[in-house]
């Protein structure tokens, strides 16, 4: 086998992506899958280290990696010789063959749609975004938006749509990822919608969909703070309140794949009306439409009813920063309800980390010191420290990266299953 001359990518030059799952923690996964995922997570890794980390024989690693190289999924990479002496045999490491596949990830939202294209090793190739008018769309309008954005980002990447192996799409709402159905979403008039099938037929590509908060958790697991964690939660605050939860290195969705709806836990019986039609949901006190409702009432902003929610929230935040007590109290009240929701997450799941994400994280009143202090008072006293909370206000491209990770995962698992079938023949 010819070695790939890529010394500039050796060592720290090629970053890994994907979960860093400890060896022997999941023996149900085939060894071929464990080896591929370990190579992908490491970026570059020698065979001997691979065998040591997985606790298997070097012969097994050699056999399986040879099959993966033959299949075009991974490649051998030579590292540079010793810089001082110039002597010694070049080190050989294994890495994912980046050019083997490309996938797209997209986030559909009330404000704008975003997209990224990444290669098989998870490296960003191109990104793009298109604004949209607020309010729900018809299915044909949504399909047109998806196709237009995908074609635009493909042009920026210098590829055609046919060069993609799959597309992942995230939606705000209730999504059955296994069936490819959007059961309810604020961006769609229709429900339920077999959106994965509709988009696949329109684009001529395999399409995978999921709830957008799940995809933020997936983005953190593949590219961010959750890579080495077995259990962590991501709470998103935008137009609504969502949660993605990783349990034992796997995204947890529930029996019907529609769980983790943190925004719809009840925090006040017969309370404020939520957009889901019920009353007293956490979202009805924390989400952007809830803050805008409170601002319009408490600040006598009836004359601003024609303004967008985003404009109202910016004005509310400016008033709070300027010292307006009423504006501050609105954020303070929302923060207290958020503390109730976060304490429930801790009491139920005991995650190692909670990440707060989403556009509303720029409103620091929601997670001020007194808010987190109130959360501490609501968590069961065990003598153990509560999980740390990190704020990741990274914007919509993070969500699109999670959708790309969904597509990458689907493509690699399909290829590894095919690889197993061929090897068994």
Instruction: Report, as residue numbers or ranges, the catalytic residues.
Output: 212
Q: What are the backbone angles phi and psi of residue 372, rounded to the nearest 5°? A: -65, -30
E-only strand ranges, 190-333: 207-211, 232-237, 241-247, 250-252
Looking only at the bridges linking them, the beta strands covering 166-171 and 102-107 are: parallel
State the sign of the Cα–Cα–Cα–Cα dihedral 252, 257, 262, 267. Answer: negative
CA dist., res. 95 & res. 147, Å (int): 32
In Å, how far are 9, 142, 185, 208, 343 from 193, measured between CA atoms? Answer: 44, 11, 10, 14, 34
Under a CB-based contact definition with an 8 Å cutoff, are residues 222 and 410 in contact? no
Element spanning 121, H or E = none
CA dist., res. 116 & res. 182, Å (int): 21
How many Cβ atoms are within 10 Å of 257's Cβ, its own excluded?
18
E-only strand ranges, 132-267: 166-171, 173-176, 181-185, 207-211, 232-237, 241-247, 250-252
213 closest CA partner among 193, 249, 185, 255: 185
Structure tokens at 285: 């006190």
Output the DSSP codes for 169-180: EEESEEEETTTT
Looking only at the bridges linking them, the beta strands covering 354-357 and 232-237 are: parallel
192 closest CA partner among 209, 168, 207: 209
Residue 13: which residues within 8 A CB-CB, separation 6 or more? none
CA dist., res. 74 & res. 37, Å (int): 11
In Å, how far are 281, 287, 329, 334, 393 from 337, measured between CA atoms? Answer: 10, 11, 12, 5, 20
Q: Say which DSSP state 104 is in.
A: E
CA dist., res. 157 & res. 173, Å (int): 30
Q: Say which DSSP state 386 is in.
A: P
């Amino acid at each position: 086998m010819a070695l790939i001359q890529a010394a500039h990518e050796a060592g720290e030059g090629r970053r890994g992506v994907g979960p860093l799952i400890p060896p022997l923690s999941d023996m149900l996964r085939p060894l071929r899958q464990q080896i591929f995922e370990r190579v992908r997570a490491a970026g570059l890794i020698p065979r001997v280290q691979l065998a040591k980390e997985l606790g298997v024989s070097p012969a097994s690693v050699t056999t399986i990696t040879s099959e993966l190289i033959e299949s075009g999924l991974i490649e051998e990479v030579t590292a540079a010789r010793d810089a001082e002496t110039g002597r010694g045999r070049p080190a050989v490491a294994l890495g994912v063959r980046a050019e083997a596949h490309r996938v797209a990830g997209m986030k559909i939202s009330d404000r704008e749609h975003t997209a990224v294209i990444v290669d098989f090793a998870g490296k960003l190739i191109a990104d793009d975004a298109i604004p949209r008018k607020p309010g729900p769309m018809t299915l044909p309008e949504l399909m047109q938006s998806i196709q237009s954005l995908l074609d635009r980002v493909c042009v920026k990447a210098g590829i055609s749509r046919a060069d993609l192996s799959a597309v992942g799409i995230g939606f705000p709402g209730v999504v059955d990822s296994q069936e490819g159905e959007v059961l309810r979403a604020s961006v769609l008039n229709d429900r339920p919608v077999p959106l994965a099938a509709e988009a696949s037929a329109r684009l001529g590509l395999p399409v995978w969909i999921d709830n957008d908060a799940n995809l933020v958790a997936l983005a953190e697991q593949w590219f961010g703070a959750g890579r080495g964690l077995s259990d962590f939660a991501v709470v998103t605050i935008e137009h609504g309140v969502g949660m993605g939860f990783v349990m034992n290195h796997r995204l947890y969705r529930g029996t019907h794949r529609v769980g983790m709806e943190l925004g719809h836990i009840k925090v006040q019986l017969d309370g404020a009306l939520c957009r889901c039609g019920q009353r007293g949901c956490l979202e009805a006190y924390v989400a952007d439409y809830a803050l805008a409702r409170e601002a319009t009432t408490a600040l006598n902003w009836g004359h601003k009813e024609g303004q967008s929610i985003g404009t109202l929230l910016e004005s509310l935040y400016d008033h709070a920063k300027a010292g307006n007590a009423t504006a501050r109290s609105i954020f303070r009240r929302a923060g207290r309800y958020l503390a109730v929701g976060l304490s429930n997450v801790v009491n139920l799941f005991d995650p190692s980390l909670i990440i707060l994400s989403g556009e509303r994280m720029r409103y620091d009143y929601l997670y001020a010191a007194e808010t987190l202090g109130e959360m501490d008072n609501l968590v069961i006293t065990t003598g153990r420290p509560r999980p740390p909370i990190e704020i990741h206000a990274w914007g919509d491209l993070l969500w699109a990266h999670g959708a790309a990770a969904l597509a990458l995962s689907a493509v690699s698992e399909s290829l590894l299953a095919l690889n197993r079938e061929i090897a068994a023949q």
